[in-house]
Structure 1
Amino acid sequence: MGDIFIWLISFFILIALLVLIVYQLMCLADLEFDYINPYDSSSRINKVVLPEFILQGVLCVFHLLTGHWVMSLMCAPYYTTM
């Protein structure tokens, strides 16, 4: 029963991450269609970058603490090491 709650928490964190990414994409689409200027777009995107990084770190540590090693490695931010 505890495993279900772990995966539900993980699911909701992933949904929150997806919402943040969709918001960033909407800001970029507004910028592309000239609805907002580049300064406003970058300030809106910069406001959600730190919460996105924090949620990603929380998800990675959450999987690490619950013993799901493969999922922890899969959600680790590997793109910053390239």
Structure 2
Amino acid sequence: MGDLIIWLISFFLLISLLVIVVYQLMCLADLEFDYINPYDSSSRINKVVLPEFIVEGVLCFFYLITGHWFMSLLCVPYLYYNVRLYTSRQHLVDVTEIFNLLNREKKKRLFKLAYIIILLFISIFWMIYCALSEEDE
């Protein structure tokens, strides 16, 4: 039962990461189609950047302390990328440069989205596996 709870917690953390990244992509798409001005778009994105980094760090640490080394190793590149962005002060979207960097910002978030979806599918697989193996016991 413990492993199933661990996978459920990681599932919800991954879903929260997924929602944050999709929200950022929606803000960028709204900016691209001129539904929103650059200031509002960048302020909305910048409000959720640090929570995204924190949730990813918590997820990686959670996998580490629960002994799921493979999943922890899969989370390390994303965590390293976020730490590198934060330490070089490139984690926030600049209002004055948002139109020039729009395609790059969208690509970054699309790669993050793909990475999170892969982690989510692996987590769902292990959650189902643990539920079925506990049912047999």
- TM (norm. structure 2) is 0.57
Q: How many residues align?
A: 81
For each residue in 1:32-73, what CA deviation from the matched residue of structure 2 results, as whole angstroms up to 9, or x when unmatched? 000111111110000000000000000000000000111111
The structure having more radius of gyration, on CA atoms, is 2
Partner of 2:67: helix, strand, or coil? coil
What code does the residue aligned with 2:27 have? C
Q: Which has the higher contact order (CA 8 A, sep 6+)?
A: 2
Distance 1:59 1:45 in 2: 21
Unaligned runs of 5+ in 2: 85-137
Unaligned runs of 5+ in 1: none
Q: Does 1:63 align with 2:84?
A: no
> In the alignment, which residue of structure 1 is the partner of 2:81?
79
Partner of 2:36: helix, strand, or coil? coil
What code does the residue aligned with 2:65 have? L
Percent identical = 79
